[in-house]
Amino acid sequence: MRKNILMLSLIAGMVALSGAGMFVNSAKAAAPSAESCKDCHTDKFASFMKSRHAKGAITGPNGTGACLTCHGPSMAAHLEKGGGKGTGAFAFGKKADPATKAAQCLTCHGDSKHLALWESSKHKSVGLSCDSCHSGHSSLAKNLKMPQTELCFSCHKDIKSEAGRQSHHPIKEGKISCSDCHDPHGSFGSKSLKADSVNDLCYKCHAEKRGPFLHEHPPVAENCMSCHIAHGGNHNKLLEQKAPNLCHNCHTGSGHFTGPYTAANGFSSLTTVAARAVGRSCLNCHAAIHGSTTAGKQGKYLAR
C-alpha cells in the first residue's frame, strides 16, 4: 500500500514537472495541491477534508496531489482552462467505464484481501463499480455513500420488503447487517455469502444448531434453508411454511397419522388436545426439531 502511494505521488510529480506551463503551488509541491481546487469546488473540497481518506490516508490533507489520486493522473489541462467538463479531470458518475473507475481505487486497494474476489463478483458482472457504494467524499464508516442498510435497500427492493415482514432477521433494527452474511465484493460461496455453505454461515451465530446431537434430524445438517428463509417472511421463526404444512413437504403420513387433524382423523392412541393441529401442531410433541440430545425413544422421535 505504502509503495503504491509513493509511486502515485512520484508519477504525479513526474507528470507535473514534464508538463509545460504547469500549475505549481510551491517549490516543494510538484503537483497541484488540494488547495488549488478549493475555490472552484468548495463543497467537494470540504467533504473530502472531512473524509477518512483525507485524515492522513492520502498524502495528507493539503499534501501534494491529494485530489489527483482519484481524479488524476494529471490536472494540468483542467487548471489551464480554468476548469470545466471534459478537460482532463477524471470524473466518476454514470457515464464513466466501471472498470476505469475501479482502477482509480484498486491502485491502492488492489492487494486488500477484502477485494481479492472482486473480479469474479456478481456486483462487478452487473456493471457496478466502487462508486456505486462508496464515495471519496464520505465521512461515514467505510466511506459508504449512505448508511449500509439504506444503501443495499436502495437497489434491493425485494429484500427490503422481505426484511420488513412479520418475522425477520433484525436488520432494520440494526442488530445485524447485510455484510454480516454477504460480502458485497464477492466470495467463494454462492450468493456472495461469507461462508462456504449456508449452514456454515448460520452456525456462526446459531452455533447450538450444529449439535452434536444424539439423534439428528437429517435436513437440519443438510441445509437450514429446507425450512427457513434468510431475510424475512410471514411465518414465525423465519419458517418457509408453518407446521404441519412444513412437515408435510417431507413426511407423508407414515407410522402415526401426520396429516391435518380433524375430529374424525386424529390419533387413536394419543387423544389429548396436543394431538390436534392447534398451536404448535407437530411441534407440540416433536419439540427438538433441530435434533435431540435425549437418549432413547423420546430422543429418536425428536421429542424433548
User: Interface residues for ligand HEC in 245-284 (CB under 6 A)?
Assistant: 246-247, 249-251, 254-256, 258, 270, 274-275, 281-284
Least spacing, CB of residue 161 vs ligand HEC, in Å:
11
Scan residues 210-239 and list those touching ligand HEC (CB under 6 A).
Answer: 217-220, 224-228, 230-231, 237-239
Q: Rule CB under 6 A: say whether 53 interacts with ligand HEC.
A: yes
Scan residues 65-94 and list those touching ligand HEC (CB under 6 A).
Answer: 66-67, 69-71, 75, 78-79, 82-86, 89, 91-93
Give 64 or 143: the residue with its C-beta nearer to ligand HEC.
143
CA distance 153 to 158: 8
The answer to whether the beta carbons of residues 228 and 238 sit under 8 Å apart is: yes
Tell me how many residues contact ligand HEC (CB under 6 A). 134
Place of cell 502515485: 8
Residues constituting the chain:
304
Give 27 or 244: the residue with its C-beta nearer to ligand HEC.
244
- In the chain, the amino acid numbered 52 is R
Phi-psi region of 178 (alpha: psi -120 to 50; beta: other; left: phi over 0): alpha
Q: Rule CB under 6 A: say whether 103 interacts with ligand HEC.
A: no
- Cell numbers that stand for 159 in this block: 429484500
| Identified binder of ligand HEC from the candidate list 11, 13, 134, 235, rule CB under 6 A | 134
* Distance, C-alpha 239 to centroid of its chain: 23
- In the chain, the amino acid numbered 289 is I
| Identified binder of ligand HEC from the candidate list 30, 73, 123, 213, rule CB under 6 A | 123
Q: What is the signed CA dihedral for 207, 213, 219, 221, rounded to 10 degrees? A: 40
Scan residues 156-215 and list those touching ligand HEC (CB under 6 A).
Answer: 156, 159, 163, 167, 169-171, 175-176, 178-182, 184-185, 191-193, 198-199, 201-202, 204-206, 209
